[in-house]
Chains A and B, each alone.
Chain A
Amino acid sequence: MSAVLTKAPSDGRIGLRANARHIGALVRRNALQIKQDPESMFDAVLMPIIFILLFVYVFGGAIAGKGNQEDYVNYVTPGLMAMMGLNIAMAVGTGINDDFKKGVMDRFRTMPIARSSVLLAKIVVEVGRMLIATTILLGMGFLLGMEIRTSVLDLLAAVGLSIVFGASLMWIFILLGLTMKTAQAVQGVAMLVLMPLQFGSSIFAPPTSMPGWLETFTDYNPLSNLADAARNLINGGPVAHSVWVTLAWAAGITLVTAPLAVARFRRKT
């Protein structure tokens, strides 16, 4: 035989360094796809601009009182950071569903790489997109009069927290994307879950203004915890409780859905 094979450990397990290299090569693939198709960045770039303008100028006056829009910027921008994460995570689900319809996925799954590396590379790229969206959102916030009332470090902590939480949400949507038949179905289900979670939270308005049953719902909604944590990190206020609850949610979601998603990916035919 003239075939030259790469020698692997006898059980064929993939080492950590090799795994990192594989994820790197797949991240490069995703980045090149964006370069080839820049329109796929529209959501990450335009969504924060449109949402912050909409909420500050359309609802801001009603919620914070006419002329108090600048106060509302400081209230809503940290909340919108949480919302960006949710929206980008949702797009991961439809993306992975589409990806699976292509032959290249068969090639990846017949190669000597950990199957999780395909999913992890996707998450790395989406976290990058989330960072871009958050940066644009904060830039817009500052333009509209937002101010950091604590420190830059606290602001960075708020950004980090929303990214960690957003990344954990991606596993849920990857699982959905791998389970459902079409990208449209994924989008449909995601929207059904997304709308009540987004609006039934403290992202846009203080829950104290809501009826009791809804206030209870928003109290247990992890997006409220994330929005409260980010808001208090930037504006000052108690952070310990909401930060820990958010981190606990992120860890819980990842621990449950990531293994399920990888298993689903493995068994997908």
Chain B
Amino acid sequence: MTRSDTNAVEVRGLVKHYGDTKALDGVDLDVREGTVLGVLGPNGAGKTTLVRCLSTLIVPDAGTATVAGYDVVRQPRQLRRTIGLTGQYASVDEKLSGWENLYMIGRLLDLSRKDARRRADGMLERFSLTDAAKRPVMTYSGGMRRRLDLAASMIGSPAVLYLDEPTTGLDPRTRNEVWDEVQRMVAEGVTVLLTTQYMEEAEQLAHELTVIDRGRVIAGGGVDELKARVGGRTLRVRPVDPGQLPAMARALDDSGLAGVAGATVVPDEGQVYVPILSDEQLTAVVGMLAARGFGLAHIDTHLPSLDEVFLAITGEKTSSSVTDTIPEEVAA
């Protein structure tokens, strides 16, 4: 992967109003070439409006934005040659087969018939859709549609890919498939602007994060910085014998593995809460507890929800008070 200091996307003071609604109210952001920027925000924060401005679907009222050096307003034709877009709703033709969709996009991107055929075959193979190649897209499952959508966006080998809430509405297994595909594309050097409502998705995929609310950027920075500000994950451990709770907390504090914040006993739940900042720390904690002979009945990690992130940053609830979080699977 090439990471450089050049910005693939630069947005300055971007404004888009719909009547009295300020969908974008002066947004600044940069996406470094070869990295993933996660744009995190609740419903109605302006994420989709941002993506639509950057993909030339709508014209901003004020401000500037360049993608791969092309201005969204003045050079839309050149810009369209460098981008791929996968939206919340699959942007493929329902009545056509998967293969026909990809072949059509290849032809629209000026590939020869032969190259378009080869590219369509290759993309179906890569996104594990070869078996469904000839079926109309309307018979596809949600995950297959999303994969086809990604394949369609990748036909033209775009330099910059927009993923607008790519896993909204998907079950956890399908969501993981989409994440894997995105990570593969990033490994190949594509720059990605990802919008999401899920802290976990941002943490999985993004190098840097921008948090937006009501059309404004309210926080930004590296994923770790932001995590440090909002507290990262919490490990929850329940010993088989609730009587061991104090001993377990003491062992964690003594070992230094629970960090400066220390372990917290929550007697009502029969659990100990341990703040976790890295996978290594998580592994070490579990290893230490096992080595000391504690019998564990239940263990899981909990990410702060978007609401908790907003609470930590602004001291306020999100504008739309989104409370849904993805339950994280047992991490140990």
A binding-site residues for B, Cβ under 8 Å: 1-6, 8, 10-14, 18, 21-22, 24-26, 28-29, 32-33, 36-37, 102-104, 106-113, 267, 269
Contacts and interface: CB of A to CB of B under 8 A. Distances in A.
Given A110-B57, A113-B108, A5 B82 contact: yes
B56, B95, B158, B189 pick with most chain A CB within 10 angstroms: B95
A175 to B, nearest CB: 20
Q: How large is the interface on B (under 10, 10 to 19, 20 to 34, 35 or more residues)?
A: 35 or more
Interface stretch (B72-80, B199-207, B295-303): B72-80
Contacts of A33: 93, 95-96
B81 A12 contact: yes
B90 interface: yes
A110 B56 contact: yes
A112 B81 CA distance: 5
B37 interface: no
B152 A107 contact: yes
A6 B188 CA distance: 18
B92 A103 contact: yes
B109 A112 contact: yes
Contacts of A113: 108
Nearest to B49: A269
A18 B74 CA distance: 22
Contacts, number: 107
Interface in B34-89: 34, 52, 55-59, 75-78, 80-83, 85, 87, 89
Contacts of A104: 91-94
B109 A3 contact: no
15 contacts: A1-B189, A3-B158, A5-B81, A6-B81, A6-B109, A8-B78, A24-B107, A29-B100, A33-B96, A106-B55, A106-B87, A107-B91, A107-B152, A110-B80, A111-B108
B159 interface: yes
A107 B92 contact: yes
Given A36-B136, A37-B95, A106-B91, A1 B2 contact: yes
A103 B77 contact: no
A230 B107 CA distance: 39
Contacts of B91: 103-104, 106-107
Contacts of A108: 108
A112 B152 contact: no
Given A5-B82, A24-B107, A107-B152, A112 B77 contact: yes
Contacts of A112: 77, 80-81, 109
A18, A267, A269 pick with most chain B CB within 10 angstroms: A269
Contacts of B105: 107, 111
A67 B237 CA distance: 95
Nearest to B84: A110
B157 interface: yes
A29 B159 contact: no
Contact of A29 (B57, B77, B82, B104): B104
Given A1-B2, A107-B92, A110-B80, A6 B110 contact: yes
